[in-house]
Amino acid sequence: MMTLYSGTTCPFSQRCRIVLFEKGMDFQIIDVDLFNKPEDLAVMNPYNRTPVLVERDLILYESNIINEYIDDRFPHPQLMPADPVMRARARLFLFRFENELFSNIDAIDSGTQKQADKARLAVRDNLTQIAPVFVKQKYMLGEEFSMLDVAIAPLLWRLDFYGIQLPKQAAPLMKYAERLFSRPAFIEALTASEKVMRK
């Protein structure tokens, strides 16, 4: 059985929980208090961060790597595109999400006021840029829910919590976010600490 060491408020862990629930398979989640991490976490992940996936002799960390592994092991429903070209594009998007959106989370969480404000602005501007996509399509890659939707959902869930205000032109993005939040797997994957992040 797969075991996921998951931070109760960690957006990267939330991604992995969403994928596990989308797949509807047997797994175990071990909740990790990010302010009081168990000692074995640093043994499993040299960066001492969540999430960490353990299956028999395999230990994986980094949410996108974990999620691709789960998707390959349990292909239904498939979350990464089957076509190599689309798959490569999806990986490029995931890379951009990390660099342009999620790289700002540390500054928002624990930077100076100036760093946090700059990071909030960067996230707001990047999200506003992608909003028009959702005028024409339901999900990131079109009509089908995919790994890209999984990847961005935890950030969209935390916008209020992070103090990020989106402008009116981002309305299509907020409608898209509500679509993600209403998925049964998304709801099941929420921890008690995450539920209170959104009013």
Tokens 């032109």 label which residue? 169
CA dist 25 and 2 (Å) reads: 9
Cα separation, 69 vs 65, in Å, equals 6
Residue (of 45, 48, 46) closest to 34 by Cα position: 48
SS3 152: helix
Beta-bridge mates of residue 31: 6
Out of 6, 7, 9, 10, the active site residue is 10
Enumerate residues 6+ apart whose C-beta is below 8 A from 158. 11, 197, 198
Length of the chain: 199
The yes-or-no answer on residue 16 being catalytic is no
**DSSP codes of every residue in 53-113:** EEETTEEEESHHHHHHHHHHHS-SS--S-SSHHHHHHHHHHHHHIIIIIGGGHHHHHHS-H
Return the active site residues: 10
